[in-house]
C-alpha cells in the first residue's frame, strides 16, 4: 500500500515546508537569545552587588570620620566596628557578608598597603583605604566557570581623623 503525503498550499506556498523552516530558525535563534538574556541577568546581579558593596564602604567611611568614641564600645576598636558594620550592611542587603574580605590600610607613602589603625592618634589626617572584595562565585546566580577566580571589589580612600574620637575618655 502506498501512502502519499498531502501538501497544503496557501497562496502558492507549501505550508508544511514553511513550518519546518520556522522550527529550524527557532532552533538557531532561541539558544542565542537565551544566552543573551541569562548574561544580562548575571551582569545585572554583579552590578547590584558592586553597588551594595560601594554603599557599605561609603557608610564605613562616614563612621571612620565621625566621633566614634561615642559609637565604639569599651574593649572594641574602630577597625573592628567598621568591619562588622560593613559585613552587616552587605548581609542585610542580601549578599553573603561572611564571604567578604575587608582591609583597612594606609593609602600612601612608605606604609601604603600596611594595616591602618584608626584609633592611633599618629594616623590623624593620614590617607587610609577601606577596601572590600567578594569572590564572584559568591554572588553568581548561575554555576559558571567563566568568571571563576574573579572578585567584585569596592574601595574608598579618605583622610582619617577629621572628626575622630578617642578611646581614652
Residue 70: what pLDDT? Answer: 77
Q: How far is residue 14's CA from residue 120's CA, in Å, rounded to a whole number? A: 84
Please identify which residue in the block is written with the cell numbers 500500500: 1
- Partners of 156 in the β-ladder: 130
Please identify which residue in the block is written with the cell numbers 600596611: 114
Per residue of the chain (169 residues), what is the pLDDT tens digit?
555 555 555 665 566 667 778 888 888 899 999 989 988 988 898 899 999 999 999 999 988 888 777 778 888 889 999 999 999 999 999 999 999 999 999 999 899 999 999 888 888 889 999 999 999 888 887 776 666 778 999 999 998 875 555 544 4
Please identify which residue in the block is written with the cell numbers 532561541: 30
| Domain coordinates in residue numbering, the chain | 49-159
Give every CB contact of residue 141 below 8 A, 6+ residues apart in sequence.
41, 42, 45
> Please, what sign has the CA dihedral across residues 90, 157, 117, 76?
negative
Burial class (CB in 10 A: 0-12, 13-18, 19+), 93: middle
Amino acid at each position: 500500500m502506498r501512502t502519499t503525503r498531502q501538501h497544503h498550499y496557501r497562496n502558492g506556498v507549501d505550508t508544511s515546508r514553511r513550518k519546518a523552516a520556522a522550527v529550524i530558525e527557532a532552533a538557531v535563534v532561541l539558544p542565542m537569545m537565551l544566552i543573551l538574556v541569562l548574561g544580562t541577568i548575571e551582569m545585572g546581579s554583579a552590578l547590584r552587588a558592586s553597588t551594595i558593596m560601594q554603599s557599605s564602604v561609603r557608610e564605613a567611611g562616614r563612621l571612620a570620620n565621625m566621633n566614634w568614641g561615642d559609637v565604639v564600645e569599651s574593649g572594641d576598636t574602630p577597625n573592628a566596628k567598621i568591619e562588622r558594620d560593613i559585613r552587616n550592611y552587605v548581609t542585610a542587603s542580601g549578599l553573603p557578608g561572611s564571604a567578604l574580605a575587608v582591609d583597612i590600610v594606609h593609602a600612601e607613602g612608605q606604609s601604603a598597603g600596611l594595616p591602618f589603625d584608626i584609633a592611633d592618634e599618629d594616623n590623624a589626617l593620614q590617607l587610609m583605604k577601606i577596601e572590600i572584595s567578594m569572590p564572584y562565585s559568591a554572588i553568581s546566580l548561575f554555576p559558571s566557570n567563566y568568571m571563576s577566580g574573579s572578585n567584585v571589589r569596592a574601595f574608598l580612600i579618605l583622610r582619617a581623623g577629621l572628626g575622630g574620637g578617642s578611646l581614652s575618655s
